[in-house]
Amino acid sequence: MKMMLMAVMLCFSSTGALAQTVESSLGSLQVTQLAKGLDEPWAVAILPDGQFLVTERKGRLWLFDANGGKTRVSGVPKVYAKGQGGLLDVVLARDFEDSKELFLTYAKSQSGGAGTALAVAQFDAQAAKLSNLRELFEMKPGNRGGRHFGSRVVEADDGSLFVTVGERGNRPLAQDLSMHNGSVIRVARSGGVPKSNPFTGTSGALPEIWSYGHRNAQGAALDSSGQLWVVEHGAKGGDEVNRVKKGANYGWPVISYGEHYSGGKIGEGTAKAGMEQPAFYWDPSIAPSGMMIYSGQMFPEWKGDIFVGSLKFDHIARLDRSGAKLSAGEQLQSRETGRVRDIRQAPDGSIWFLSVDRGGLFRISR
């Protein structure tokens, strides 16, 4: 599971034009800039008409047209824009063309500090406006500080919504079912709790929890079978990719393949009965962020593979996937991949990614 990945270097001129490529197993890859001038971009959502939305952590949502022109979207909820908190994920509803609804995750000010929240709103592209904003979930309050909010939202095949919630820097709470910290939660599209959630009948447990024992999952995606996968930050080492199962405990902070930043041991070791093992882990840490499972036509050789952005080593890691098993693939790296925050598959099968360091959105194609 622990692997170092082969690098595939993509070289560019100072103007951003393609200057040179290095052949990979798929041949030459091209990177094109789609948007620039972004301040801490966090997530991108591609609209059916080819326009796209980008969130900035400080609380701005931008609409970009096909020519790179941008308009600020109004109606965004007020966010707690401190530390790692702010406006985070944006995802279109599966029925967006009919409902015009999209989902946002964000850090929200609370009486005890701040916590991760999920909202749904209708989007009017012509007016660049959100309306009918409704909060669907807010984590149980009580945490101060600006660390570990998560946060990705994924709509499952049945319409329910999975949201990753970080442990907010309070490690023991990831094992406490009376708190949302360090969990994947599942709510209905209406905001209610599905009866099939694993802890609805457990005394003292919060019914929204689907899985727990996570540290800070900043990537999440469904595979072609509808299975949820997440990628989460370890401490000093031990970043994990997990295949998320209903009611499962992923061990943080009792077990980990990393260590504290001080060099001290975390918990009880790397394994314990009743706690899940990661499908893959990195040591040293790559500081993983956005995650995508490829299903497009442009790169059929990569179908089913997992792509993860690295905030630390400035690349996109590709993991080969065979069922539930993952193995190292390669690193896609260039000057444009500085602190990759989000990765999405476009309708044409190209791969889009957000670079924090470059302040831009980029497209990888043949």
Structure tokens, 221: 């995606």
- pLDDT in the model for residue 68: 79
- pLDDT in the model for residue 335: 85
Catalytically annotated residues? 148
- pLDDT in the model for residue 12: 36
Q: How far apart are CA 338 and CA 335, in angstroms?
A: 6
- Between the alpha carbon of residue 202 and those of residues 119, 194, 197, 247, the distances in Å are 26, 14, 10, 11
- pLDDT in the model for residue 228: 98
- pLDDT in the model for residue 324: 87
Query: What is the pLDDT tens value at each position of the chain, 366 positions in all?
Result: 444 344 444 443 333 444 334 245 787 889 999 999 999 999 999 999 999 999 999 999 999 998 879 999 999 999 999 999 999 999 999 999 999 999 999 999 999 899 999 999 999 999 999 999 999 999 999 899 999 999 999 999 999 999 999 999 999 999 999 999 999 999 999 999 999 999 999 999 999 999 999 999 999 999 999 999 999 999 999 999 999 999 999 999 999 999 988 888 999 999 999 999 999 999 999 999 999 999 999 999 999 999 999 999 999 999 999 988 999 999 999 889 999 999 999 999 999 999 999 999 999 998
- pLDDT in the model for residue 24: 57
Q: How far apart are CA 292 and CA 134, in angstroms?
A: 27
- pLDDT in the model for residue 116: 98
- pLDDT in the model for residue 21: 46
Q: Per the confidence metrics, is the pTM higher than 0.85?
A: yes
- pLDDT in the model for residue 353: 95
Q: How far apart are CA 151 and CA 6, in angstroms?
A: 28
Q: Tell me which amino acid residue 119 is.
A: A
